[in-house]
Amino acid sequence: MEFGYFLDSISKIKNIPLPAEASQFKMSPPFRTELLERYKDEMTFAKRAGVLALFYPDVKQRTRIVLILRKTYKGVHSAQIGFPGGKIEPEDDDLKMTAIRETYEEVGVNMEHIEVLKELTEVYIPPSNFYVQPFFGISKKTPVFKKQDDEVEDIIEVLLDHLLDEETITTRLVPTNYNIEVEVPAFQLNGHIVWGATAMMLSEIKDLLKLTI
């Protein structure tokens, strides 16, 4: 999709109600309800994070969204696909500032080029006990990406047309605490399988865009 057309299409996105949990549920793992019940006490003390779904024009003026492949490390989000973002820090005024700052730190997008258009529906992530607040943003300039080598393995530039294509919906088997594998819904984007919280956020973004485009 040409970026100029994309900008025209989303001009009223601030006033459109969020699809919220109804959209997220489409890409939610089947064991999520059980996890939320198990972690209901921990949720009271959950940490906070902000992430950014950033749309931008590539060099051919096609609309893309940026994702990242995280480094392999000893942690629950090792080698996973996600949005640029991270936990709120004392210097951040709010979670929106967190998402913008982390996008600059992780993939090198100039903060002055980022415009946040809408706050999306937050997602609770049980394994790390985080409430993650996603934001919908744009950069009207084509970014010159520079990954944060100690945290980011790869930068993944996904065409908007690819995200909106129903053929990208798939499933994958993931292990559970019961030593069995469970089939979960996922996106297949740029050769990567995206599931869990990131897929839930992408589902809401996808449904929101379908209301405007």
Q: Which of 186, 213, 174 is CA-nearest to residue 76?
A: 174
* Strands 130-139 and 47-57, sheet pairing: parallel
**CATH number for position 69:** 3.90.79.10
Mind listing the pLDDT tens digit for each residue in 154-166? 999 999 999 999 9
Predicted TM-score (pTM) of the model is 0.94
Cα 22 to Cα 28: distance, rounded to the nearest angstrom? 10
pLDDT of residue 180: 79
Cα 195 to Cα 114: distance, rounded to the nearest angstrom? 26
pLDDT of residue 77: 46
Q: How many domains does the chain have?
A: 1
Q: Is the pLDDT of residue 153 over 50?
A: yes
Cα 72 to Cα 124: distance, rounded to the nearest angstrom? 22
Residue numbers of the domain that contains 154: 3-210
Mean model confidence pLDDT for the chain: 93
Say how many residues make up the chain: 213
Mind listing the pLDDT tens digit for each residue in 46-56? 999 999 999 99
**Cβ–Cβ under 8 Å, residues 52 and 105:** no
Mind listing the pLDDT tens digit for each residue in 85-137? 999 999 999 999 999 999 999 999 999 999 999 999 999 998 889 999 999 99
- The tokens of 54 are what? 């950033």
What are the CA-CA distances from residue 153 to residues 57, 71, 183, 211 (Å)?
A: 22, 5, 26, 34
Only one residue has tokens 């025209």, namely: 8
Half-sphere exposure of residue 10: CA atoms within 13 angstroms, side-chain side: 23
pLDDT of residue 33: 87
* Cα dihedral 37, 20, 75, 107 in deg (nearest 10): -170
Alpha helices (H) along the chain: 3-9, 21-26, 32-38, 95-107, 160-164, 197-210
